[in-house]
Structure 1
């Protein structure tokens, strides 16, 4: 039996044109680094080059898509574009239109939608390792009698950044700005690796983070049941994450007895030094408890910014033309808050804690999508 439901969704304000987006496959890095997707194929990213005032400015968005939680689950994932690059080209339009909301919102190349970043270089880093770019197992893992898997998320991260830094140094000269974004598992990628990426880049480049909906909390759900804690601990061990060089050393030192903590954003947040603007719904998961989330974010924020909202959504705004323009918290739109933060260094720490799910009237978009 199929279950149908109506879900509020955002429609692009401008028809999408993906003609300027090209695919980069990191084929050499498979040989030199072993930077392979789950199935052993090369990782990659879609790129649209900037122009004019944006020619030396960059945004990289790390695609989300959850995690695989067992060898069998990872094997199944390796037959899809979340574990293999074999269909990256065939699925171009689908990926750039819909994945995480697609290359809309803050990734849009339309000035009426995205006046601040429309002409920047934009990278949509494809997700094929199932580990938020954090796995690190030296050899292939044999599943069953003949199938093999590769847990090489950190190597993919390194190969991606090396490729981008080489591109940044060509043609128009060295980059001046880099915004590191992502949603869900891609949002967790930002939390985990932002400082590491900052260290990779020349000091002259301004680097900031824009993680969205990557806060999966270590807490019981509303029924008092544990969920994320045992899941994260298991994934951490299965994928050899303790060997990932991009894990925060301060976090690992604090949680040396249970290092899996450092695969969760709430424990990594206090150690992140690179400026970030966190975007998250209180209700993007039934397992997130609002008060605990707000406490964690606000205590770790310091000079960082955050935009927490009551809409029942996951990855529902930053990559959506309408959503990122109209969602408002404390009198400020998401787009306006990010613009003021980035270009005028204004700290925005907005959280309408008193609101019930979807009570904020700006949650509600114009479009409705049907989910099967």
Structure 2
């Protein structure tokens, strides 16, 4: 059993269904578990440190259910950026906090996380720089970097299987941002580790990245992703990230970041903002496309956007809905929650996941939408109206 420390209390009012629930929120801190056996797989963080995760045990009816959450945190796309990352908590467990706050979908309070509160909940720490997908090593005699995300994933799973994951009845693989992309990449593989009669599903939070032109008509983010893949392929004789991209997807000529979804066999849920802040700032209006800073005020406050800028943002929303159109119309087992909030990652924060003033689409919170989908209570494909119609939004844009 991991140690848990309660460090603060606050009284909150929550609405679930038609009844009001008053709950005392506990700030849950969960200790880090270092994967000692990762050495046998040569599964290392960028700097060579051992990978890690945080596990809070389930209880009661949830004791044999498992929720795994990939940590997010961007990517590095060249040797210099990866060397810099290796000296931070994004590339080394040596620099990570040893205790992690579990909130939102990871919370253990029934009033704050009504569907998953008593499951075994795991946060997989992110330290490879490529969404847990690479398998390579760079060594020029002076600098050494490990691109071993695939092995880190495997080492953590193998560590968890004898701790109960191998006997799971229900399981949900989730992730935020770069971790949301990892959910795409590892969804079907996760299913392969679990019992054939287990109910296994996957969720991506802010991990559906559009392959779109920026305001200068360049594919800036496509180029960035190509650099990530090329870096890890050229760093050694290993195949690198490409081996973890669906072969049907890549052979069809599709961009794997946006178009992997139709090839995933496991039931999948897309949680995304149509105005995702990361994509707004790095795909639609990257710094390289706005050197003069015409978009600076708009980036900080959507109310300060000009009419032309709002029209461009609405076009970006339309592109996202178009890209998800086939999934929306044809996926019988899939779920969606696409709201119109300027935000990035909404499942790990309590105020956006499930609280009295949480964002809602058709009067449904994110937690309710995900729960309805996972447990098959009702069809759960929610798409918000366009900005600025949604008054429930938490616009976290700074």
* TM-score between both structures, scaled by the size of structure 1: 0.83
Q: How does 1:93-172 map to 2 (within 5 A)?
A: 93=99, 96-97=100-101, 103-137=102-136, 140-142=137-139, 146-168=142-164
Structure whose residues are more often strand by fraction: 2
1:183 aligned residue? 176
Deviations along 1:104-123, whole A, 9 cap, x unmatched? 11111111111211111010
1:62 aligned residue? 70
1:363 aligns with 2:374: no
Q: Please, which of 198, 203, 211 is the counterpart of residue 196 of structure 2?
A: 203
2: CA distance, partners of 1:161 / 1:249: 23
Q: Please, which of 239, 247, 252 is the counterpart of residue 250 of structure 2?
A: 252
Of structures 1 and 2, the one with the larger relative CO (CA 8 A, separation 6+) is 1
Q: 2:168, 2:195 within 8 Å by CA — same for their partners in 1?
A: no
Q: Secondary structure at the match of 1:150?
A: strand
**Paired residues, what number?**
331
Q: Please, which of 327, 330, 336 is the counterpart of residue 300 of structure 1?
A: 327
1:228 aligned residue? 221
Q: 1:12, 1:322 within 8 Å by CA — same for their partners in 2?
A: no
Deviations along 1:86-109, whole A, 9 cap, x unmatched? 133xx134xx23xxxxx2111111
2: CA distance, partners of 1:141 / 1:12: 51
Instruction: Calculate the aligned-residue CA RMSD, in Å.
Output: 2.2
Q: 1:51, 1:121 within 8 Å by CA — same for their partners in 2?
A: yes
Q: Secondary structure at the match of 1:299?
A: helix
Q: Please, which of 277, 290, 304 is the counterpart of residue 317 of structure 2?
A: 290
Q: 2:342, 2:394 within 8 Å by CA — same for their partners in 1?
A: no
1:72 aligned residue? 80
2: CA distance, partners of 1:364 / 1:40: 39
Give, in angstroms, the shift of residue 199 of structure 1. Answer: 1.7
Deviations along 1:225-261, whole A, 9 cap, x unmatched? 3211111111111112854544312113223xx8xx3
2: CA distance, partners of 1:174 / 1:215: 30
1:344 aligns with 2:355: no
* TM-score between both structures, scaled by the size of structure 2: 0.78
Q: Greater Rg, structure 1 or structure 2? A: 2
1: CA distance, partners of 2:35 / 2:327: 36
Q: Please, which of 93, 100, 119 is the counterpart of residue 85 of structure 1?
A: 93
Q: Secondary structure at the match of 2:324?
A: helix
Q: 1:135, 1:153 within 8 Å by CA — same for their partners in 2?
A: yes
> Structure 2: which 5+ runs fail to align?
1-9, 13-24, 285-315
Q: Please, which of 2, 13, 16 is the counterpart of residue 27 of structure 2?
A: 16
Q: 2:87, 2:95 within 8 Å by CA — same for their partners in 1?
A: no
Q: Secondary structure at the match of 1:178?
A: strand
Q: Secondary structure at the match of 2:392?
A: helix
Q: 2:43, 2:149 within 8 Å by CA — same for their partners in 1?
A: yes
Q: Given the superposition, is the C-alpha separation of residues 174 and 38 from structure 1 closer, same or farther in structure 2, using an over 3 Å criterion?
A: same
